[in-house]
């Protein structure tokens, strides 16, 4: 009889120890926006123009952005050859409503983000007028096709 009590006690102890030491794995899984942020940061490497370049309203304008580079940080960005005001030399961005496919750049430009293994496509409308320029010269829908540098 004593052996049965000890056996039951040992089983209960093992059961309690097993289930109290287990952690919920869902706590360590990053959110979709956290995963997207990591992908966009590209290990600190620049995004540069890919073979599809840049289109504005469906027309190829890649030559206007020769040497374009985009570096995405933790809700910040820097660019080279961004043709201000299409891309400012630096600024801030954030996800819109925690949607990993939508970001708001500099508080006023909504960008649709599509990212695959090593390619990033950014689609947005520019409404700004460059200093001394005409609205038509910059305004329009842009699509940047970028790859990791």
Q: Please identify which residue in the block is written with the tokens 């570096």.
A: 71
Q: Which two tokens stand for residue 37?
A: 């942020």
CA dihedral 34, 71, 49, 83 (to 10 degrees): 120
Q: Give 118's contacts (C-beta < 8 A, 6+ positions apart).
A: 147, 148
Report the distance separating Cα 65 and Cα 87, nearest Å: 10
Q: Which tens digits make up the pLDDT trace of 32-91? A: 999 999 999 999 999 999 999 999 999 999 999 999 999 999 999 999 999 988 999 999
Q: Which tens digits make up the pLDDT trace of 14-45? A: 656 566 655 555 567 889 999 999 999 999 99
Q: How do the domains of the chain map onto residue ranges?
A: 30-148
Q: pTM score, two decimals?
A: 0.77
């Amino acid at each position: 009889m004593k052996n049965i009590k000890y056996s039951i006690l040992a089983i209960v102890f093992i059961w309690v120890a097993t289930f109290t030491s287990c952690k919920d794995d869902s706590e360590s899984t990053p959110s979709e926006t956290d995963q997207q942020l990591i992908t966009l940061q590209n290990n600190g490497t620049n995004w540069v123009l890919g073979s599809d370049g840049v289109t504005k309203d469906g027309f190829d304008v890649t030559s206007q952005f020769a040497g374009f580079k985009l570096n995405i940080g933790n809700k910040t960005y820097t660019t080279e050859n961004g043709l201000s005001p299409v891309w400012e030399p630096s600024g801030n961005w954030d996800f819109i409503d925690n949607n990993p496919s939508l970001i708001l750049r500099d508080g006023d430009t909504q960008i649709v983000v599509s990212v695959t293994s090593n390619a990033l496509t950014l689609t947005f409308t520019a409404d700004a007028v460059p200093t001394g320029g005409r609205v038509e010269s910059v305004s329009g829908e842009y699509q940047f096709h970028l790859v990791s540098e």
